Amino acid sequence: MKSRYNHILMLLGAILAFIPIVAVDYLLDAYVRVREKDVTQQSISAITSQIEINTNDAISALRRIMIDSPSLCTPTFVANVQHEIESSLMMKQVLVENRDGVQYCDAFGRTVAYSPISASLPVPGHTETMTVVKLADMAMPVLKITQAFGDTRRVSAFVPLIGQTTGALANGLSPAALLRFMLTDGTAILTVGDPTAFDRRSSSTDFVYAQAFAGELPLLAESAVPFAMVRASYADLDASFTIIACLMSGGFLLMSLQYVRRSRVPAFDLERAVANGEIKPYYQPVINLKTGDLVGCEVLCRWEKKNGDVVPPGAFIDYAEVTGLAIPMTLSLMEQVKVDLGVLCKTMPDMKISINLFEGHFRDSSIVEDVQAIFGGSSINFRQLVFEITERRPLGNSMQANSVIAGFHALGCRLAMDDAGTGHSNLAYLQTLGLDIIKIDRVFVDMIKPDTTQVPVLDGLIAMSRDLNCEIIAEGVETEAQALYLRARGVLHAQGYIFAPALKAAAYKELALALHSSKQPRRSVQDVIATAA
């Protein structure tokens, strides 16, 4: 029967396989939004740019008229005005009036009918002013560009806001789109389309929106179109992308199923391995740096498969913690430790056995009861047991964790902080836990080089451990320089490849007995391992 975790991972793989299909809408929405925003921005910028050009042309024409005409309303003036209107594509009329609006003359010898829509505003960078007006029966608002002539006269040129009718503008817009012009003081000039939906929008993503100023003129244009309307125009592209995504998802799903079926990743069979006793304890010696004596070991685990393959813990420990398999796996290891080292612990009553616990073990007190049930009445005394807490993951419930630690102390067991200096603890936290041993992580030991005279971080950890009145064990010692440096700073115990790797039970017991025997001349750990091999 396949592991239920295998099925869970297969389900996750199937879900992940459909991500391309789900992502199609998201990615296409983002593409449409960016592309249509750019198109809309270009369109509205082109309109405002043309307004600016037409206004500047009118200003230039008005100035030429003023320069070429010594007096106003003379035949020469009227001729110059008519010439400029004929030369211009946009200018419709030129009017001379006083400040009270009394008209003196115009280009065609008739009264100019117009009504202001806005107040008179300055044109930045120019001496002229600008007023938005309605001219005669024209539906399109007109810009009245005015230049003062003396103290009483005003000469104005009339230029339509846009060289199109409002109907032509409306026909050029998408359904439900909006084109609106206003002055920077908020005065509305022209609105094409219904602005109700846009003004009542609940989210900025409901519309594709762009705005632009007409150069330095105090005039703003904005354009908006419902995103749903724009998105609908990409139906063909949507269908094509969806088909491609379905093909990708199908291929990925087949690959995932094949991978799950053929995979040898340890996580898929871990539950079976724990049940079948394939998770074996290995024992890494802990050595006294001053005397060379073996003082104990750390219990590490290896997955020994039926085919002889050995899987290192890094390949399955994280999975075991996430799935809760770490708890039955630890209990299985403790049962094996009791069998492997029972006689040896009776022979060497001072030997310490360190067993790693995980954050899940500290959520309730059942682990204390399990330890009592396994080792109670065995040859291994509770005071020979050391339980290591990793610092890489914080203990979630500190009150419950303290209760578990108190339970261990009540039995006579000791507590060690593993990977010290690499995780979440601080000095106050360590004091609260009531630790007996601090294990310095190998990352700090690796800082010791042959010519190193000082490692401030490592020295600080050692000093902190002493302040807490904790025993110190250095992990990952691999060179003589590291061993000497640590010993010189009062670190008594260490483990690492310079002494021995993690050993199977038989090899470890042979090593321990050889070092313990007082009948043999003292030999180094390496010599004993070589002999055992």
DSSP code per residue over 443-498: HHHTT--TT----HHHHHHHHHHHHTT-EEEE----SHHHHHHHHHTT--EE-STT
What integer pLDDT is reported at residue 251 of this predicted model? 72
**Residue 526 confidence (pLDDT) above 50:** yes
Q: What is the pTM of this model?
A: 0.52
Dump pLDDT digits (tens) for 39-73.
Answer: 999 999 999 999 999 999 999 999 999 999 989 99
Q: Which residues pair with 471 in a beta bridge?
A: 437
User: 524 falls in which pLDDT band (50, 70, 90)?
Assistant: low
What integer pLDDT is reported at residue 532 of this predicted model? 45
Q: Which two tokens stand for residue 523?
A: 């030999």
Q: Where are the beta strands (DSSP E) in 325-477?
A: 352-357, 385-390, 414-420, 437-440, 471-474
Give mean pLDDT, residues 19-45. Answer: 85
**Residue 82 confidence (pLDDT) above 90:** yes
* Furthest-apart CA atoms within the chain: distance in Å: 136
Cβ atoms of residues 409 and 435 within 8 Å: no
Q: What length is written for the chain?
A: 533
Give the C-alpha distances (Å, rounded to integers) separating 24 from 21, 229, 235, 319.
5, 18, 12, 32
Cβ atoms of residues 175 and 229 within 8 Å: yes
Dump pLDDT digits (tens) for 182-215.
Answer: 998 888 899 998 888 898 888 888 899 999 999 8
17-44 burial code (b ≥16 CB/10 A, e <16)? bbebbeebeeebeeebeeebeeebbebb
**Residue 283 confidence (pLDDT) above 90:** yes
Dump pLDDT digits (tens) for 11-24.
Answer: 666 666 667 777 77
| Cα atoms in the Cβ-side hemisphere of radius 13 Å centred on 345 | 21
